[in-house]
Every structure is written in structure tokens, then in C-alpha cells.
Amino acid sequence: MVSSNTNAIEGYLCLLMLKKFLLFTVLLTYVGVKAQTALPPKVYTLNSRKTALPVTIDGILDEDIWKAVEPAKDFYMVFPYDSSYAKTKTEVYTSYDENNLYFAAVCYDEFPDKPYVVTSLKRDYSGVTDFFGIYIDPFSDGTNGFEFGVNPLGVQREGLISFGSSWSFDWDNKWYSEVKRYADRWVVEIAIPFKTLRFKQGTQNWKVNFGRVDLKRNEKSTWKPVPRNFAMRSLAFTGDLIFSEPLDVTGNKLAIIPYLTGSVSKDRIENTPVKWGGNTGIDAKVAITSSLNLDLTLNPDFSQVEVDEQVTNLSRFELFFPEKRQFFIENSDLFSRFGFTQIRPFFSRRIGVGRDPYTGQFKQNTIYGGARLSGRINKNWRIGAMTMQTARDNSINLPGANYSVAAIQRQVFSRSNIAAIFVNQQLMDDSTVTFRFDPNNYNRIVGLDYNLASKDNKWDGKFFYHQSLQPNKPKDAYSHASYLGYYTPTFNFMWNHEFVGENYRAQVGFVPRRNYWRIEPAIGFNIFPKQNKYVNNYEFNLYTSLYKDRYFNKTLDLFNQFTFNTFFQNTSSISITIDRSYLYLFSPFDPTNTGGQELPQGTSYTYYKGGAEYQSDTRKKLTYRAGVSYGQYFNGQIYSAGGNIGYRFQPYGTVSVSTDYFRIALPKPYSTADILLIGPRFDLSFTKTMFLTAFFQYNNQIQNFNSNIRFQWRFRPVSDLFIVYGDNYFSDNLQVKNRALVVKLTYWINV
């Protein structure tokens, strides 16, 4: 335990460290600014000429239009250096007609004897792979846009870009591409229907950039230079795409996506009879304007969504699992990026999802229907409004409710914006009556955010104030925070403060902790050795997270970490960390989270821990990551080991196993526990339209072993057949808890 004198000493040390941090920040900011790479003074403009003749998407550039337009070329290196033109040559051409935007890219290859690195044939690939990418910013705001990518085997991926460089590949839409491979190059031809994109009708100037990953040479490059500390997709670094005539939108204004499911399930715990079921529903996309979309859903079903990947929870708080359901993805940043990661006023996974008391996992419950209007009014204004109605689920005691959220965003300066949000949860039933409206059973949030993003992407930040509205109008029902970060290739720092009141309630949000202040500074420094054959850069980081009570008198948590990373030219890396933690228990807590005897409320603990991790060359077919740590833990000790090993059967898929092991030893009468989480995974792609994913998870902390096997056949663009099998077992004796098999068919119809 730690005495009050020790707490006072810690407070003094924190203040002293903060002063040194601010002084160090000023000095290194100057060094970082002076060390910035001088990018070439070049105008990045690409003219897109309208064509009246058809363009056949076959990967063969024999149309006259490709001979008549000038290409974007002379790509600039992003990795391993960002101070010279790329060695790998790439040329990009563009054109358009009334319906489609066309791109063609010639990706030269100087190592024909080496195989391409392609993870699988599965759409929306991620990880280490060769590819050509297009980053489109139709409103030239440097914040929101689209990414389209194709690899040398013709596999596609598409995603939404938000907040300048954040991305989500869960978004699906129609577009077309074909690839032809030759001895010294591969050529891709792409058609993106204008109805797939969101833009202002009559516009003539978009922002665009192109990226190329050539893992044979271990090089990343972009047309418009991007500093190496930023992602290639960063919309702060884009050139101009000039159309020869203003865009006049044509094409379908309505898309309908019906689905049909059949299922069989068995609950062994309740010992209920086998349950057979079927369901049908429909989604619709209505283009109100070229930049404003109305999405409608009736009786939606998300049974094809992949199961959550579990993690070991040693904290006192709820863990965050990301949204994966398609309906909630497009323009989701309008709603989901208010607040911070741990102070979200709106979190769409609260809608139609509850925690299963038998498995500890999240479980879908029925959503009757909903609607979402989202998009842009013009370049400066974005709006979003959504309402969803859910049914009661007696199996997990989840009441039916109406969930509504509205957001409006106004761009200011070059890339910043001011945004406001209103969230409402209204319970609509009790245990006996459906749609019983109780005017006093609600939870509401109103909030205002300012999101800062400088033109050159060096500065970003967020400042917000949120107020919860509840029937009894309690005090301290608000939260506020500020974040400011500065980033260059050689130097970065971050400052953050948070406050969450004792009675702040966000029932449709994610706020695992209340009644605290938090101060969170961090500083980092990178050293790039010149022309080093083995090392790309060294990275040093100092991080502090300090939690104080409501009156800023008592320290609740204090976490200090020093990290030293070495990144090698071959994409491998080594990381070394040293941690110091202080925790005050404001409620009883079992540090193993396994139901053992709890440490008493009001006690405090200081402990130290060290760890190391190695990541192998990610370009190899066999890759692995391994890490260990050891140190003190509350009033005992902790040892952990974990990692991942995978093999790529190029290009037909990967087999991998991830493992986390924790040995927690506390003195009697408290618990000593061995916590093990193992997750084998098989990602197989038989063709570019037929995939199988099998995911298994053994977690003895929550006494559960589950499997999720999903087969997908994309028989037409954005039209799929899914066959999904899932089950859960007790991890100690492998007794079955429940099983289910679902078959789902979806079909995209343009009207």
C-alpha cells in the first residue's frame, strides 16, 4: 500500500515531469520544424477528358482516350524514405463519361522473377500486399473521401476515408476493374459509377491522389508527396483532378437490397427444442441528391457479420468492440466520432445488441426498422439523422427502445469543423406491453465538438462539451475534454485533458468510467539514420496518463511508460517498454477478473513492469509476432507471453494462430490465475468471389470456447450468399452451450 506522503511525492513528481515535458516540447518542436523534408515545388494537376466512346474494362488500354490524355507520373517515395522520387515507376490516366469515372494505371515491375505479395483473393484485403490505390476527395475538404484499391491479381477493396486519414473497408458499393499482367508491368483499368460516389452536381474540380505499394522493392510511393509519418491515404496531401466539363449526374436514383434467411439453432443450457426460423427484410438506398443519401431498412438482419475477436480483460472497465454492421457504416463518422474513444455520446453497437449472460459475448436482437439521412448540403455543411426501433429480447432482459440521433457539421478554415449532436434513447415497452411510451424513461445527450486539422496535417485536435439530459436533472451530468497534437517525421507531442461528471449518462454511448479528471501528455522523437542498410528509424516515446478525483485532490490512476522501438528496412521491428503504474481502488476488485476474492476498497498499489516484442518481416509467407513482459501487479506479480504466427498460402489465403497467456500470482487469500486466450483463424479464398473464414476462440477467463465459420459467395457485385455456423462451449469441459446455422441471400437491384 502507498501512504498519503507517497501520494504527495507522486503529485510533486508529476508536476515536475509536466514542466520538463513542456520545456522539452518547445525545444523539440523547433528541431522538428527545422528537420522537415523539403518537398519538390511542383503543381499536381491531372486533367480528366470526357469521352463519348465506350470504355471496355478489360485491362487492355486500346481505347483512343488513353492515348489522348496525359498521365500522372513521377511518383514520390513515402517508404523507406520520403526525400526522393520513387524507383518503381507508375503512370495513371483518367477519363469520364455521363455515368462513370475511369482510371487506368500502368504499374511497372523491374523484378519479374519475384512473385507479388498478395495475401488472398478475398475482397477488401488488408495487411501487407502489393496494390495500386486511388484516394478521392470530391468536396476538396481534406477530411472525407473514398479509397479504391486493386492488387496485381485483380482483387478489389473500397473504403471510406474520414477525419483526413481514418478508414473503414466495411463499406461496400459497386465498381468495376480488370487487371492484365505482363513481363515488365501490370495494368489495371477501373470504372467507378458516379452514383457510387457522393459529390456536388455541377462541380468541375476534385482532389485526388494515387498510391503504389511495391513489396518486391519494399517501396511505397504516391503521386502527390506524403511525408512518411502519415498514411498514403491522407487527404491533406492531394492534387487537383480537373474535369473538362462540369459533372451532370445521371443513373439510378434508387437501389433495393432484399435479403432472405433460414436458420436452425439449439440452446443446450435452457434445453429448449431445436428452433427453426426464417426471415426476410429489405434495405433501400435513395439518392436525394448527388451528395445526400437516404438509407432505409426494414427488419434488418446481421447474421453474416463476423464474430468479435475477444481480448483478455484485466481492467475494471468495459471493453470497446467496433461496429461491423453494414447499415451503420456509411457516413458513420458523422455520428460515431463525437467525443473521445472512452467518452462516446453515441455508439451504434448499443442499437440491437445486448450482452449474452451465458457466453459473455454480444448478441443481436431484433431491429424492426430504421432510416438514416446523411451526406452534404454543400462543401461546408454535412448533416445526419437516424432513427431505429428495436424489439424486446426477454432472453437477455433487453427492453425495446427507439434510438434517434441527429448531427450537423460545419467546416471552418482549411480542414477543421464544428459539429453538434443530439442523441435520444426512449424505452418503448415493459415486460408485458410492447410500444408502451413512458415520457420519463429516456436518456438524451446534447453536445458540441470542435475538430482541428491544420492544412499541412501537422496539427490536429478536438475540444468538446457534452451534456446528458435525464428525468431527475442531476448535477454533474456533463463531460468536456481537449486534445492537441503536433506531428512531424522526427517529432510529435500530444496533450489531452478529460472530465466526466458523476451523473453523466450516455446510454447509447460508450463511457465506461465517470466522475474523474484525466491529464494525458505524450512526446515522441524519431531518428532516421541516413542510408542505413538495416535500420529505417529509431523511435522514443514518453507517455503519461493521470486520473484524479472530481475535486482533483486524490490520484486514482497514474500510468507512465517509456517505449523504444527499432523499425528495420525489411519491415520487421523490435519494441521495448518500461511501465510504472499506480492504482487506487474506489471499489473492491479482483485483478484476475475470474471471480476470485477481491482486494478491498480504498487500498492503493504501485508497481513496475517491463516488456519486449518482436515483429518479423511482414512480407514473408511465414510471419510471426512474439512478446513477453514481467513485473509487479497490485500486491503480487504478473507474467505475460503472447503473439501471432501465420502462414500465407499465396494467393489462396492464410492460416494463423494468436495467443495471449497471463500468469497472475497474488498472495493468499487472493487469486492466482493462469489466463489463456487462443484464436486459430483460417482465411481461404477459392476464387475472387468465393471465400471461407473459420475463426475459433478459447478463452478460459470467461469460460467459453466458440467457433464461427462463414462461407461467402459473391455471385454478383454486392450480391451474396452466406452460410454461417457458430457455436459456444464451456472451456473447461467443452460442454455445448448453443449452436446455430444460418443461410442468408442478399441481392442488389438498381431501379
Predicted confidence (pLDDT) at residue 32 exceeds the cutoff of 60: no
Q: How confident is the model at residue 251 (pLDDT cuts 50, 70, 90)?
A: low
Q: What is the pLDDT of residue 728?
A: 93
Query: Which of these three, 445, 476, 507, is where a domain ends?
Result: 476
Domain annotation covers residue 605: no
Peptide bond into 300 cis (omega under 30): no
Q: Using DSSP, state whether 471 is helix, strand or coil.
A: coil
Predicted confidence (pLDDT) at residue 12 exceeds the cutoff of 60: no
Is the pTM value of this prediction over 0.85? Answer: yes
Q: How confident is the model at residue 272 (pLDDT cuts 50, 70, 90)?
A: confident
pLDDT digits (tens, 9 = 90+) for 282-312: 999 998 988 899 999 999 888 777 766 767 6
Assess whether 344 and 457 both reside in one domain: yes
Predicted confidence (pLDDT) at residue 263 exceeds the cutoff of 50: yes
Q: Which range marks the domain in which residue 92 is found? A: 39-243
Assess whether 85 and 194 both reside in one domain: yes
Buried b (16+ CB within 10 A) or exposed e, 483-507: bebbbbbbbbbbbbbbbbbebbbbb
Assess whether 130 and 228 both reside in one domain: yes
The three three-digit cell numbers of residue 227, written as one number? 511525408
| Residue that is written with C-alpha cell 457539421 in the block | 409
Instruction: Check the CA dihedral 308-310-316-320 and report its sign.
Output: negative
Pair type for strands 90-96 and 45-50: parallel
pLDDT digits (tens, 9 = 90+) for 646-686: 999 989 989 999 999 999 999 999 989 999 999 999 999 99
Domain annotation covers residue 655: no
Report the distance separating Cα 27 and Cα 657, nearest Å: 45
- For residues 232 and 147, the answer to whether their CB atoms sit within 8 Å is no
For residues 219-232, give the mean pLDDT.
Answer: 96
For residues 632-641, give the mean pLDDT.
Answer: 96
- For residues 92 and 210, the answer to whether their CB atoms sit within 8 Å is yes
Predicted confidence (pLDDT) at residue 358 exceeds the cutoff of 70: no
For residues 486-498, give the mean pLDDT.
Answer: 96
User: 321-324 — which CB contacts under 8 Å span 24+ positions?
Assistant: 321/349, 321/362, 322/349, 323/170, 323/347, 323/348, 323/349, 324/170
* Of the candidate ranges 125-129, 196-200, 236-240, the one whose mean pLDDT is the lowest: 125-129
Query: Which of these three, 181, 210, 243, is where a domain ends?
Result: 243
Assess whether 352 and 223 both reside in one domain: no
* Of the candidate ranges 32-46, 175-189, 540-554, the one whose mean pLDDT is the lowest: 32-46
pLDDT digits (tens, 9 = 90+) for 312-350: 677 777 766 777 777 887 677 889 899 998 999 999 888
Domain annotation covers residue 629: no
Domain annotation covers residue 490: no
| Residue that is written with C-alpha cell 442478399 in the block | 746
Closest CA to 155 of 145, 144, 169, 166: 169
The three three-digit cell numbers of residue 276, written as one number? 427453426
Domain annotation covers residue 566: no
String of DSSP letters for 274-342: PEEEEEEEEEEEEESSSSEEEEEEES---TTSPPPPP----SSSPPP-----GGGTTTTHHHHTSSBTT
Report the distance separating Cα 259 and Cα 743, nearest Å: 10
Sheet strands (E) in 569-703: 573-584, 604-615, 622-633, 636-649, 653-665, 672-685, 690-699
The domain tally of the chain equals 2
pLDDT digits (tens, 9 = 90+) for 544-591: 999 999 989 999 999 999 999 999 999 999 999 999 999 999 899 999
Closest CA to 195 of 166, 212, 175, 209: 175
Domain annotation covers residue 671: no
Q: How confident is the model at residue 41 (pLDDT cuts 50, 70, 90)?
A: low
Domain annotation covers residue 602: no
CATH number at residue 172: 2.60.40.1190
Domain annotation covers residue 164: yes
Assess whether 234 and 118 both reside in one domain: yes
H or E stretch at 492: strand 491-500
pLDDT digits (tens, 9 = 90+) for 106-115: 999 999 999 9
Q: How confident is the model at residue 33 (pLDDT cuts 50, 70, 90)?
A: very low
Assess whether 211 and 62 both reside in one domain: yes
Assess whether 364 and 223 both reside in one domain: no
Residue type, 22: L
Contacts of 708 by beta carbon, 8 Å cutoff, 6+ apart: 306, 307, 693, 694, 695, 696, 724, 725, 726
Average pLDDT, the chain: 89
Report the distance separating Cα 97 and Cα 274, nearest Å: 55
Q: How far is CA 608 from the centre of its chain?
A: 31
- For residues 536 and 569, the answer to whether their CB atoms sit within 8 Å is yes
pLDDT digits (tens, 9 = 90+) for 388-438: 999 887 777 777 889 999 999 999 999 999 999 999 999 876 655 556 667
String of DSSP letters for 367-431: EEEEEEEEEESSSSEEEEEEEEEE--BGGGTB--EEEEEEEEEEEETTTEEEEEEEEEEEE---S
Q: What is the pLDDT of residue 31?
A: 41
The three three-digit cell numbers of residue 169, written as one number? 473497408
Give the residue, 416 or 7, on which the prediction is more confident. Answer: 416
String of DSSP letters for 378-395: SSSEEEEEEEEEE--BGG
Assess whether 54 and 167 both reside in one domain: yes
The three three-digit cell numbers of residue 713, written as one number? 459467395
Assess whether 188 and 72 both reside in one domain: yes
Query: Which of these three, 419, 449, 476, is where a domain ends?
Result: 476
pLDDT digits (tens, 9 = 90+) for 50-87: 999 989 999 999 999 999 999 999 999 999 999 999 99
Q: What is the pLDDT of residue 125?
A: 84
String of DSSP letters for 207-267: EEEEEEEETTTTEEEESS---TTS-TT-TTS-EEEEESS-----S-SEEEEEEEEEEEEEE
